[in-house]
Amino acid sequence: MKILYALIIIILFSTSCKQINRSTERKEVTIAKEVLKDKIMGGWAGKAIGCTFGGPTEFKFQGTMIQDYQPIHWDDHYMKWWYDHTPGLYDDVYMDLTFVDVYDKLGIDAPVDSSASAFAHAGYMLWHANQAARYNILNGIKPPQSGHWLNNPHADCIDFQIEADFAGLMSPGMPNTASEYSDKIGHIMNYGDGWYGGVYVANMLSLAFISNDINYIVTEALKSIPKESEFYNCMNDVIKAHKKNSKDWKACWFEIEKKWTQDVGCPDGVFSCFDIDAKVNSAYVIIGLLYGEGDFTKTMEIATRCGQDSDCNPSTAAGILGTMLGYNCIPETYKKSLKEVEDMNFKYTTISLNKAYQMGYDQALKVIKKNGGKETDKEITIATQVSTPVRMEKSFEGHFPIERRVIDKQLSDNIQIEFEGNGIVLKGNTFEIENGKADQSYVAKAEVTIDNQLIETIKMPLSYTTRKHEVFWKYELPNKKHTMKIKWLNPEKLVNVKVTEAIVYSTPPINKEIK
């Protein structure tokens, strides 16, 4: 009898699992409106909680994991402290809300130029692909060219990955619709793997509305990414490592470090242990999700302990898991802290979490109905979709970093640089010689010639908000020896521009394959 009973239990459990899996493949899914709202709230709340959880360790652990003996602090007033003292921590959230706000004001079909303008003219500070895109937009380079790698050395960075939540949360059960929103917004600041990071996150969030199986969500969403891309293969390596050994996340982490941490694009990450590449940090997100096994704390902790951008990664992971579980199932220890800030506007916005919950819900209803869904007083029926691949893109193809050289010269020094290769990036910044005395609206202008041909008249704003992230870059040059000269056109005695380093590119070595 015991054997028979055991067999019955196994059969029932197996049937239940199959029903769950089949339910994710149905063409229509009907859920209560209060469940939809609860999941949207869980997504935004999880994102803010995860950002707070990993905030203190952001980029303090580069190329290494955070060891088990190091505690990760949390208390009932923790989020309030960060809101009050370091509100810039929540750039993951208020950047996302920029696009939510545009869709709220202009409708869910708002043109991409409206989002690009709101993003470029916002009062918050930006970095990496975001700042390069802001500079491009303010200087006439519009999306999608503002995110293209020829115009943005940070095209493969994490930026859109941490800002794509809105696309998934407004497209419940409709991953391809999430990809369409990601296509428009993601190319404002990214391209290639940098864009794929956001597409993948948006697809996971979309699927989290209709499945309670985190393995399914992670693997099914990957269908949105072209199989020939590096991003796909990096995520696939995480999934395969988890299938091989589902208990040891550190073994998986080592495999990713060994194979995928060679950054060729980001000028801050090349020849450095600093890694803000989208595919690596997205790998840390799904390491947290897979090895976290649906446990909210464990998921955030693993994603954080993977290191590098250790506030953004648990933020993304907790947002996905929060969507799957719903707001009401987020552990009370985090909601106690959350409730103190839910009515507080994020810095640089007029939007609080409570307002974001409602805006996100309203937009999701509109997107559902636009895409064939139906609404009753208490329920919403979603015409679900199966993730399909977006187009193939690859940044920095044919370019391999061969040198990082200290320059340490100012524009007033009449800069001349000799290099051999097919590309170059100059790092540097505009600075005041006497702090507080220069005109903050000043923009340095300089002519850059290569081999006696004018390449660009660069603009270097003194303002940090509108600054140019790198002094100059040029790819796809003939692969030979070059002479670069920089001539300052409008010298200002209270301001100068410093060129700190040069990164030189050449064609990839024949005996060195980049995967």
pTM over 0.85: yes
Residues with Cβ within 8 Å of 293's Cβ and at least 6 positions away in sequence, in order, are 214, 299
* Packing angle of the helix pair 112-121, 128-138 (nearest 10 deg): 100
As a whole number of Å, the CA-based R_g of the chain is: 24
In angstroms, the first-to-last Cα distance of the chain is 56
Predicted local distance difference test score (pLDDT) of residue 434 = 87
Predicted local distance difference test score (pLDDT) of residue 9 = 32
Residues with Cβ within 8 Å of 203's Cβ and at least 6 positions away in sequence, in order, are 168, 175, 178, 179, 220, 221, 223, 224, 387
| 434-437, Cβ contacts within 8 angstroms, sequence gap of 24 or more | 434/494, 437/494
Alpha-carbon distances of 13 from 134, 243, 348, rounded to whole Å: 53, 21, 50
Per domain, the residue ranges of the chain are 24-383, 400-506
* Packing angle of the helix pair 91-106, 112-121 (nearest 10 deg): 140
Predicted local distance difference test score (pLDDT) of residue 22 = 33
Predicted local distance difference test score (pLDDT) of residue 6 = 38
Predicted local distance difference test score (pLDDT) of residue 1 = 38
Instruction: Give strand pairing partners of 474.
Output: 424
Helix (H) or strand (E) holding 51, with range, is helix 33-54
Alpha-carbon distances of 160 from 89, 397, 441, 486, rounded to whole Å: 16, 20, 29, 33
The answer to whether residues 415 and 409 touch, using CB atoms and an 8 Å cutoff, is yes
Q: How many residues does the chain have?
A: 515
CATH architecture of the domain 400-506 equals Sandwich (2.60)
3-state secondary structure at position 482:
strand
Q: Do domains 24-383 and 400-506 have the same CATH topology?
A: no
Cβ neighbour number for residue 143 with a 10 Å cutoff: 21
Q: Which of the listed CATH numbers 1.10.4080.10, 3.50.50.60, 3.60.70.12, 3.40.50.300 matches domain 24-383?
A: 1.10.4080.10
Which residue from 463, 364, 499 is spatially nearest to 40, judged by alpha carbons?
364
Predicted local distance difference test score (pLDDT) of residue 26 = 55
Alpha-carbon distances of 255 from 235, 264, 425, rounded to whole Å: 12, 19, 30
Sign of the CA dihedral with 154 first, then 156, 162, and 168 last: positive
Alpha-carbon distances of 234 from 76, 96, 186, 280, rounded to whole Å: 37, 25, 20, 8
Instruction: Take residue 419 and report the two structure tokens written for it.
Output: 């290099």
Q: What is the pLDDT along the chain (515 residues), one digit of tens a residue?
A: 333 333 333 333 333 333 333 334 558 999 999 999 999 999 999 999 999 999 999 999 999 999 999 999 999 999 999 999 999 999 999 999 999 999 999 999 999 999 999 999 999 999 999 999 999 999 999 999 999 999 999 999 999 999 999 999 999 999 999 999 999 999 999 999 999 999 999 999 999 999 999 999 999 999 999 999 999 999 999 999 999 999 999 999 999 999 999 999 999 999 999 999 999 999 999 999 999 999 999 999 999 999 999 999 999 999 999 999 999 999 999 999 999 999 999 999 999 999 999 999 999 999 999 999 999 999 999 999 999 999 999 999 999 999 999 999 999 998 999 999 999 999 999 999 988 899 999 999 999 999 999 999 999 999 999 999 999 999 999 999 999 999 999 999 999 999 999 999 999 986 555 55
* CA of residue 409 relative to chain centroid, distance: 33
Cβ neighbour number for residue 435 with a 10 Å cutoff: 8
Residue entry with tokens 């802290």: 337
Instruction: Take residue 187 and report the two structure tokens written for it.
Output: 């190319």
φ, ψ dihedrals at 156, nearest 5°: -95, 5
Classify 421 in phi/psi space as left (phi over 0), alpha (psi -120 to 50) or beta.
Answer: left
Q: Report DSSP letters for 437-459, one per residue.
A: -S-TT-EEEEEEEETTEEEEEEE
Strands of the sheet with 374-375, listed across from one edge: 28-32, 379-383, 374-375
Q: Report DSSP letters for 287-312, one per residue.
A: HHHHHHTT-HHHHHHHHHHT-SSTTH
